[in-house]
């Protein structure tokens, strides 16, 4: 029997125990200044997105944010995480998505209860209308002993893709192309994304050709579980040539373990803990 009790074991399997072995498929176009990642959450999307009973338009936004975070984390070459956080004054004032270099993925969307009660959230609302005026922060965290790298852009454009492109343009000074999708299918929620990055200056024709080919991608193709990633990439870029790199797995990555929460509580004074106690218990929600 292990010396560490199960509830203190920080390395125990994620719950729900769903792993998508080829959730992130990096690739490049040989001889062209283009690299990218194809992200497909498969049934993991349903496990993450069905945990909260949000309006569908909000869940679609959250699913696309998860795919975007996973795709950006797929470029990490070190141990750490990539997170995006949107804060605004709209009916969805907070949107979070976070993914580690190992593929531990999590996310959350906070919806104003009064907006739901007033039927202020419509299915045709844009991402910008849901979030309102505010900012979008992209953060690379390499651990407690290093400084975090953060890029902040104003919530601008109507879609999350447009906001992310603003980050690439202003903070990374890199050309990029992004397509995200999330919807409820007969098999549950699915979310996916395709990200292209321009890795060198010059050769505008090659970049323009790559993005024109990517524009032919349909949402059905992107979300189709039966269409494997390599086949999809070849379907898109066969004219230019495409090479898939080593795939990365994705899994549910909430890090709110009992050990972590106990450590947080240990940082409070006894009087503060007394104020948190209700009927002899302190309740902390994930």
Render pLDDT for 124-144 as a digit per residue (tens, 0 to 9): 999 999 999 999 999 988 766
Render pLDDT for 147-180 as a digit per residue (tens, 0 to 9): 778 889 889 889 999 999 988 888 767 889 999 9
Domains for the chain: give ranges and CATH numbers: 19-255 (3.55.30.10), 256-286 (no CATH)
Q: How far apart are CA 152 and CA 237, in angstroms?
A: 32
Per DSSP, helices labelled H in the chain are 43-49, 56-73, 113-117, 127-131, 160-167, 204-214, 219-223, 229-237, 258-266, 270-276
Bridge-based pairing state of the strands 188-198 and 176-185:
antiparallel
What are the phi and psi torsion angles at 164 (to 5°)? -65, -40
What are the phi and psi torsion angles at 99 (to 5°)? -145, 135
Task: Read off the pTM.
Answer: 0.84
Per DSSP, helices labelled H in 85-159 are 113-117, 127-131
* Statement: residue 68 has pLDDT above 80: yes
């Amino acid at each position: 029997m292990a010396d560490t009790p199960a509830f203190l074991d920080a390395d125990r399997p994620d719950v729900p125990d769903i792993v998508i072995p080829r959730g992130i498929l990096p690739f490049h176009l040989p001889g062209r200044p283009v690299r990218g990642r194809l992200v497909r959450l498969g049934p993991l999307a349903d496990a993450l997105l069905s945990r909260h009973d949000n309006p569908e338009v909000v869940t679609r936004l959250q699913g696309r944010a998860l795919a975007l975070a996973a795709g950006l984390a797929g470029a990490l070459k070190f141990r750490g995480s990539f997170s995006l956080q949107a804060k605004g004054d709209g009916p969805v004032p907070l949107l979070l998505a976070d993914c580690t270099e190992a593929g531990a993925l999590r996310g959350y969307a906070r919806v104003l209860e009064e907006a739901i009660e007033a039927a202020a959230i419509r299915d045709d609302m844009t991402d910008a209308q849901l979030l309102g005026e505010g900012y979008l922060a992209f953060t690379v965290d390499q651990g407690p002993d290093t400084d975090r790298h953060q890029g902040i852009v104003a919530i601008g454009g109507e879609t999350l893709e447009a906001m992310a492109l603003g980050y690439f343009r202003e903070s990374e000074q890199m050309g990029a192309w992004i397509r995200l999708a999330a919807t409820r299918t007969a098999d549950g929620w699915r979310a996916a994304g395709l990200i292209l990055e321009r890795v060198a200056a010059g050769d505008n024709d090659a970049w323009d050709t790559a993005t024109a080919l990517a524009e032919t991608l349909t949402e059905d193709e992107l979300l189709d579980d039966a269409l494997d990633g390599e086949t999809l990439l070849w379907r898109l870029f066969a004219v230019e040539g495409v090479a898939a790199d080593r795939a990365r797995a994705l899994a549910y990555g909430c890090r709110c373990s009992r050990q972590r929460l106990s450590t947080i509580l240990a940082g409070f004074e006894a009087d503060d803990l007394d104020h948190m106690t209700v009927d002899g218990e302190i309740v902390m929600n994930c």
